[in-house]
Amino acid sequence: MSDAQSVLTPSGSTQRVHAEEMVLSMGPHHPSTHGVLRLEVVTDGEVVVSARPDIGYLHRAIEKIGEYVDYRQFMPYTDRVDYLCSMSSNFAYALGVEALGGYKLPLRAELLRVLCGELNRISSHMICIGALAMDMGAYTPFLHGICHRERVNDLFEEVCGARLTYNYYTIGGVSYDAPPGFIEKCDRFIDYLHPRMVEFNDLITGNSIFQERLCNVGIVSPEDAINWGLVGPNLRGSGVKWDLRKNEPYSIYDQLEFGVPVGDGGDPNGSNPQGTLGDCYDRFVVRVKEVFESLKILRQVVDKLKETEKLPADHPDRQYQAKLPARLKIKPGEVYVRSENPRGETGYYCVSDGTDCALRLKIRTGSFSALGIFEKVTRGLMIGDVIAVIGSFDIVLPEVDR
């Protein structure tokens, strides 16, 4: 066998492989790939030479469907763009159509949207940080995360009747008003979760074995994070303080007080003093801190919702849905609107030709951009560390294969 030869991989591509190297297929059914992600991994022993993502196993033509159904009918499909944060996917699409049509929302509708969006951010992060801990061998934190997520799902089931794909947001507001006692239950949930997140921190975040598995692994510098188009916690984990809720506020986020956690690897006074800025541990810690910030937002929104309930029933700010035509026909134009979802910026580019359907619909998601840098980040790592990188990027495959 010569020093290097071309090998036909299972996906049909060819790679130059040296005599000592092997081509392995990781996924699409490997539990640690977090969905139907398949990796073509070239290894030299236990060292990764390259790990190339092979995507497309979940393609459903969602963008094309958005051009064949009317604006309201497409809302349930947005649930399927990211099933871990369906509320946030609803939110992003609704913002795009409302910007295109120039629609304004009542205050209570905005409050209910932000309330459910931040609850969904918490439940999504619970899966991410819990699953990452489980991938590293710590099973108990995952059970804690599932337990907290189920509490959120109980609230969602009460407000919209669903626990996974919610279809709660509408063009112009939300489908239903908060049922009696719902706001108080949200208040109690905040009181419930805060001390348990402190307990979660004690359980895993400061665990020395967990830190050794994540610190100095999968490092993404601030420059690389920007150049490769990373967004959300993956961008902020590299120390870049960018959050659309702060930098380009939408809905009522400009009326709320909250912080934007960023990675601090190597800072003696930070949460990751023994690591490197932009490593897997920084991305994990940023998500944990974001849960605490979401709790701050929820407390403010709950207080504002209680104030709206004191208004007369016919007051404009007391309504949960704007008064819009039964069939939306939006004047010709185009718009690109983005929102800060749990996995980062989700953008909707929508073109109207004056009918009740979009002429063109394009979705931009954070998981797709995260996979772009994956091969660069994993080069030279051990095979076990590839699993840590996947979990720290919080990739959800429906966002990639649309």
Instruction: State the CATH number of the domain containing residue 248.
Output: 1.10.645.10
Residue 83, in any domain of the structure? no
- The DSSP secondary structure of 271-322, one letter per residue, reads S-TTS-TTSHHHHHHHHHHHHHHHHHHHHHHHHHHHHHTTS-TT-GGG-SB-
The overall pTM is greater than 0.85: yes
Residues 176 and 29 in one domain: no
Q: What is the pLDDT of residues 379-391, one digit of tens each?
A: 888 988 998 999 8
How far is it, in rounded angstroms, from Cα 351 to Cα 332?
A: 7
Confidence of residue 207 (pLDDT cuts 50, 70, 90): confident
Q: What is the model's pLDDT at position 340? A: 95
Give residue 312's region: left, alpha or beta (phi > 0; psi -120 to 50).
Answer: beta
Of 275, 295, 327, the position where a domain reaches its end is 327
Query: Does 54 have pLDDT greater than 90?
Result: no
Residues 272 and 160 in one domain: yes
Query: Does 170 have pLDDT greater than 90?
Result: yes
Of 278, 295, 327, the position where a domain reaches its end is 327
Residues 372 and 227 in one domain: no
Q: What is the model's pLDDT at position 105? A: 94
Of 269, 304, 327, the position where a domain reaches its end is 327
The larger pLDDT score, comparing residue 275 to residue 149, is at 149
Distance (Å) of CA 168 to CA 19, 84, 375: 56, 14, 37
Residue 338, in any domain of the structure? no
Residues 122 and 204 in one domain: yes
Residue 64, in any domain of the structure? no
What mean pLDDT comes out for the span 204-224? 91
Residues 51 and 144 in one domain: no
Q: What is the β-pairing status of strands 14-18 and 22-26?
A: unpaired
Residues, the chain: 402
What mean pLDDT comes out for the span 268-297? 89
Residue 250: helix, strand or coil by DSSP? Answer: coil
Instruction: Spell out a b/e string for 219-249, using b for 16 or more CB atoms within 10 Å of the CB, else e.
Output: bbebeebeebbbbbbbbbbbbbebbbbeeee
Residue 258: helix, strand or coil by DSSP? Answer: coil
What rounded mean pLDDT belongs to the chain?
A: 89
Instruction: Report whether 185 contacts 155 (CB < 8 A).
Output: yes
What mean pLDDT comes out for the span 341-354? 93
Residue 70, in any domain of the structure? no
Q: For residue 401, give its domain range.
A: 1-57+367-402
Residue 184, in any domain of the structure? yes
Residue 351, in any domain of the structure? no
Instruction: Report whether 402 contacts 348 (CB < 8 A).
Output: no
Residues 120 and 248 in one domain: yes
Residues 274 and 387 in one domain: no
Query: Does 198 have pLDDT greater than 70?
Result: yes
What mean pLDDT comes out for the span 345-358? 92
Q: What is the model's pLDDT at position 6? A: 56
Confidence of residue 3 (pLDDT cuts 50, 70, 90): low
Q: Tell which residue, 192, 174, 194, has the closest CA to residue 111.
A: 174
Residue 79, in any domain of the structure? no
Residues 237 and 93 in one domain: yes
How far is it, in rounded angstroms, from Cα 287 to Cα 394?
A: 10
Confidence of residue 364 (pLDDT cuts 50, 70, 90): very high
What mean pLDDT comes out for the span 303-319? 92
Q: What is the model's pLDDT at position 281? A: 94
Q: What is the model's pLDDT at position 1? A: 36
The larger pLDDT score, comparing residue 396 to residue 31, is at 396
Residues 146 and 93 in one domain: yes
How far is it, in rounded angstroms, from Cα 238 to Cα 220?
A: 6
Confidence of residue 28 (pLDDT cuts 50, 70, 90): confident
Number of domains in the chain: 2
Residue 171, in any domain of the structure? yes
Residues 296 and 375 in one domain: no
Residues 375 and 313 in one domain: no
Query: Does 271 have pLDDT greater than 80?
Result: no
What mean pLDDT comes out for the span 13-35? 70
Burial of 143 (0-12, 13-18, 19+ CB in 10 A): exposed
Residues 398 and 301 in one domain: no
